[in-house]
Structure 1
Amino acid sequence: MCRWLAYSGSPIRLEELLYRPRFSLIDQSLHSRMGVETTNGDGYGVGWYPVDGSPEPALIRGVGPAWNDANLREIARSISSPLFLAHIRASTGTPVQQTNCHPFRYANWLWVHNGSIREFARLKRDLVMAVDPKLYSSMAGSTDSEVMFYLALTYGLRDRPVAAVERMAGLVESTAREHGVPDPLQMTVATTDGDRTWCFRYSSERRSRTLFYSTAISALRTLYPDQKMLHGLSEETRLIVSEPLGELEGAWQPVPESSYGVIQKGDDELGSFEPSMP
């Protein structure tokens, strides 16, 4: 499977999360503690929104292991962003190539995924044929993750993100039933339009991969007054991760099974996720 993180808040350099924490995303590319695989070396990607407020995110993706990529290190120490998604890949069978690395981008949207569609090769034709023809030509890779993204776009991701992802999941499960594939969907997903960020934790068997969100900054400042970094972050700052980046007690909360969350200005949201037929 894979590991990913989604950050939203005060602008910070990418390296602050990709490299510096004890259990950083780069460390997880070699030594994941909670993933299906310990090593996630089949490519990487980072998508970030510029500090100047430009709506379209920038993107870097590579097919080599993240821990050994000099270009990623250079960019991470040079780029600051208020919102970015980062991903390290462990292939579930599709080729190791740049177009299969996350994040996937469409206009101002980004998408990362950890998980798989079981027996994707059997289901792929039916799923791809459900993608809006106007979106089809934008698909460049061969992964189940990218198909999930374009199905969500087809079902209204840009207008009603939660409903769109629920419809995508419902189509995957109904298609799998037609082909006799049990428990087809395993996913933790993050997607963003550059303003709000949505995360999803769901699996057909109700045993989803791990996902955590950071405790409110105000509470962390009270718990750890000597942590200088916390005092430079706004109250809106939030982080979602496949597995915690450190061991500060109380810093990480598990995203509940079969649920979604929304990071946004003001109060964040947490709700139940239930696939539905499109």
Structure 2
Amino acid sequence: MSAVVNRSTFALAARALSVGYRDRLVLDSLDLNIRAGRVSALCGANGCGKSTLLRTLAGLQAMRSGEVRVAGKSLAEYRRREFARTLTMLAQFNQIPAGLSVRQLVEYGRYAYGGWLRGMSANDRATVDDALAASGLAALAGHDVAALSGGERQRAWIAMALAQQASIILLDEPTTYLDIHHQIDILTELRRLNRERGLTIVWVLHDLNQAAAYSDEIVLMRAGRIVAQGSPDAIIEPSLLEATFGVPMLRIAHPQTGAPLCVPAHRVDQRGEQAAAAGLAA
């Protein structure tokens, strides 16, 4: 007899989830469980459905069939502001209104607590100050968001999410277009906030080694389905990675920590070698 799953124990859950655009099915009868207080990475090849899954979990993409539950409740049970106090999502591309300061952007996170007509309360201002401090942006609060570096701008969006005080944060490729220094900076900051505040974080990451280093679990996706889900140690396995990406992979240990890393296996192109040899002989 199979065990009964208590859905309320999950921050996010999807059951038999199917999502598509016109005649194209993107997510195909997908099941997913994300436990509260953990950092989970969605990984897979381009077009496998990672961003679509994130948008569906956030209630931004219509479902063809299935169910999504957030903190134990179905999406249909939430009112807009209640949902915004529970979950927030940072998209891959965020448009910034011209002339907006960092503080003003972060203040948008308080909309879920009463809207703009009532104005900012003392509690709102204190929450914004806390979000700016937690994101290391207190000194830049008066600066124009458009004038910030890529890493600082991403921090500003994270500060806005913190001001929203949602316990679940979804991030679609938060390190895209950032150099390695700012990538590590953002990942480290989010991991710290997860540990200190108990936030549930789900992010889409392309770098498998970063996903393994900064996440509690990895969800591998291919063609709209889950290939595997588990700890980095369980997921960074050549057979699972090749099944996901179609590329032979090797597992190695980090020389300092022993943590699992993966690298593409070297594949010899014999035709290329023969052509190169013929060219040298000529």
Shorter-chain TM range is: 0.3 to 0.5
Tell me which structure has the larger Cα radius of gyration: 2
**TM-score scaled by length of structure 2:** 0.34
